[in-house]
Amino acid sequence: MTIPADLLKGLNPQQVEGVCYRGPTLLISAGAGSGKTKVLTHRIAGFLATGEASCDQILAITFTNKAASEMRHRTGDLVGLSVRDMQISTFHSVCVRILRECVGHLGKAKNFTIYDAADQRAIIKQICQSTDTFGLTASMVASQIGLLKNQMHTPDTYSRCLASNSTNGNSVTSITLQREQFILHVFRRYQEILKEANAFDFDDLISETVFLLQKSPEISAMYRNRWKYLLVDEYQDTNHAQYRLILELTKGDKSDMSLTAVGDSDQSIYAFRGADIANIVNFENDFPDCHTILLEQNYRSCQNILLAANALISNNQNRKDKNLWSELGAGEKVIAYCASSAEEEGRFVADRVRHLVDQGESLSDIAVFYRSNTQSRVIEESLIRQSIPYRVVGGTKFYERAEIKDILAYLTVIVNPDDTLALRRILNVPKRGVGTVSENRLVEFASARGITLMQALSRIDEINIQPSAKSALRDLFYLLNRFAGSSMPANELLDDLLKATDLLSRFNNTDDPQNEARKINIGDFVDSVEDFAKENPGGTLSDFMTNIALMTSYDQSDDAPGQITLMTLHMAKGLEFDFVFLTGLEEGILPHEMSLKEKNGIEEERRLAYVGMTRAKKVLHLSFSSYRKRYTDGVRLPSRFWDEIPQHLLRWHSRFTHKRFTGPLYGFTARPAGESRQSVHVLKNRYPRESFSISDSVKHSVFGVGTVVDVLGLGPKQIIVVEFADKRRSLLASIAPIVKCKQ
């Protein structure tokens, strides 16, 4: 077996090893920006080029449709042939394929519907009507049920778990126990409703596939024989259900199979979604025959950025040790900034962005990261004031907009008439005079007779409702029945549906300024169906609906030229920008205050900061504010992560004189001439610039003149309490923009 030289050209020695290794199990521990996708695609191409595998024997799994599409195109370009028969897709897509083929073994029909998060919340809200929810919202319950499913729990196993905890005397409060019992009740009823509707939610797709493979050894063996070469990207992000799926697809004799896992323990940041870092940390224990390769050469960032990131993440214990390095040169030092308020931090970002643009940089090469969406407002306002266009990744997603959900509900019922949730959504959409009373009587009629809502609709003449509503529902049934089972291409069916209903024309009323936007959205949806039809000749409506259901939030956000990008750190994973601003490096924000209560919480927060830092290619900006209004006394302490970054890698931007730098990179200097470094910066070994005593008269650049009423502590964390005209405030003396008033 000889790998073609073209597939190894331009690879470093570790990457070459990753492409050529031929043992049963391989772990590629790939640092940020180390070219892991290149290694993965070249490895797949190597299997094909040497004749070791055919396209249909390879299964490559990643986490987003976008990443899967990129991998598919790269592989196709390398081997110079179509890879249409190769399964390169997400976990959910793989599981949908298995379930469509074999779901009968679980007692469901192949035309099952896939419920999204909004559908899930709607069902849970129905279940919770007239019930004490113990302070839990539908979203909170949905999240908990999702985590339970990711841990492979069913209502029965969760019930036994609660009983075991109670029997073993585990200490839980009464309200906690009541909440857990309530979640169990909702979980059980929720699963019953899914079964009645012949539906799965997103988390079911994986857990139910695992149950299927465990229940049917012959089916499990069939897929192991089909996919001899399994490659899993972003292994650090796998949850327990995904981990169990991989074990099912690789168990038994490994002499004629190959498993490749690619990931980075330092970039595991999705614990809140159920991701378990132990999956990658313990990989070599799970697969004792594993060979491990470290990819440490970074092709993205300058060395100073990497040195700062390496220093930070080295403080974590639960990781595979590695140090990123680059041949791109030292680059600029990390630019650091301490703001007196969140608003000033926003102005700093906007000023720097404006200057970058003035220097000829593109807005699309700039990104601002923050720990939570609540931090974005002041940054957005500052950008707006300077007329800097921006986009916020993570707003209302296209397929979650009401007008699109309405059309999707119609299409869902056409594909799966048993879907009660979708049918209830469209009973009076567009408005046809069907009120709550008529809807409830229709539902009660179906429930009393043990039939589906669609079957009840077919017997509408037997139901005691207003004649006008009865006529409207009869027409709806005829309409849906007309399209049911249609073999028309999805785009043609949608065109006929829009003509037969008022789903589009209802927005012709110009009184509502949002109607034009809604019509444009529907037009975009029609375009998406047209594109699907072109890319998937012979694709059915069911295929299109499956494609839509599998879309994830970032798959829906286009690269928008001419705009700066704002997003949370969790959304930034897998991206890169020339210029990055990581804001809010404060205790309670990053690390988040909730992390202090969680096992290994600080390590997860440190990984989150590391991910943000390693998105930067040319220049990284780090900032924090000494004051934020949303906190009780407003005063903020700098994040502990500042202490973990070597000071010689930082270049501080002064705010005390409100003068810009005059250094070589942007025409700025590191600090005003004659001003000491200690007077500008705040970190370990920094002390208050002045000595404050009780009764001192002081002046703050934001709050004005006040009187010191208390002094707490010594050194860099000394707090002075000052009585200002509006209120009493606690300030960190080493960083507060405050001076003594001259006597």
As annotated, the binding site for ATP includes 30-37
Q: Clarify whether 234 is annotated catalytic.
A: yes
d(CA 387, CA 403): 31
Residue 670 CA: distances (Å) to CA of 114, 231, 255, 579, 631 = 55, 47, 60, 18, 31
Going by the DSSP 8-state scheme, the letter that residue 654 receives in this structure is: P
Selecting among 233, 266, 345, 603, the annotated active-site residue is 233
Catalytic residue among 25, 75, 267, 583: 267
Name residue 326's beta-bridge partners: 298
Give catalytic status of residue 267 as yes or no. yes
Q: Extract the annotated binding site.
A: 30-37
- CB atoms inside a 10 Å sphere around CB 693: 9
The span from the CA of 704 to the CA of 262, in Å, is 55
Considering the candidates 37, 50, 126, 466, report the single residue annotated as catalytic.
37
132 is catalytic: no
> At 699, is the secondary structure helix, strand, or coil?
strand
The Cα–Cα gap between 591 and 606 comes to 7
* Residue 468 amino acid letter: S
Phi, psi angles (nearest 5°) of residue 291? -110, 135
**One of 180, 204, 208, 234 is an active-site residue; which one?**
234
First to last CA, the chain: 86
Could you give the CA distance from residue 614 to residue 617 in angstroms, rounded to a whole number? 8
Looking at residue 554, what DSSP letter applies?
G
Question: Distance between CA atoms of 146 and 153, rounded to whole angstroms?
Answer: 10
Task: Please provide the DSSP assignment of 335-369 as one string.
Answer: EEEEESSHHHHHHHHHHHHHHHHHTT--GGGEEEE
* Cβ pair 205, 95 in contact under 8 A: yes
Active-site annotation holder among 36, 43, 333, 397? 36
| Given the residues 74, 405, 615, 671, the one annotated as active site | 615
* Dihedral angle sign, alpha carbons of residues 19, 22, 23, 25: positive
Active-site residue 359, yes or no? no
Give the whole-angstrom CA distance, residue 216 versus residue 206: 15
Of 489, 500, 580, whose CA–CA distance to 542 is shortest? 489
Active site residue 615: yes
Give catalytic status of residue 343 as yes or no: no
Residue for token pair 């375009």: 527
- Side by side, the strands of the sheet bearing 25-30 are 87-90, 58-62, 229-232, 258-263, 25-30, 290-295
DSSP class of residue 23 equals S
Task: Give the residue numbers annotated as catalytic, written as ranges.
Answer: 36-37, 233-234, 267, 615
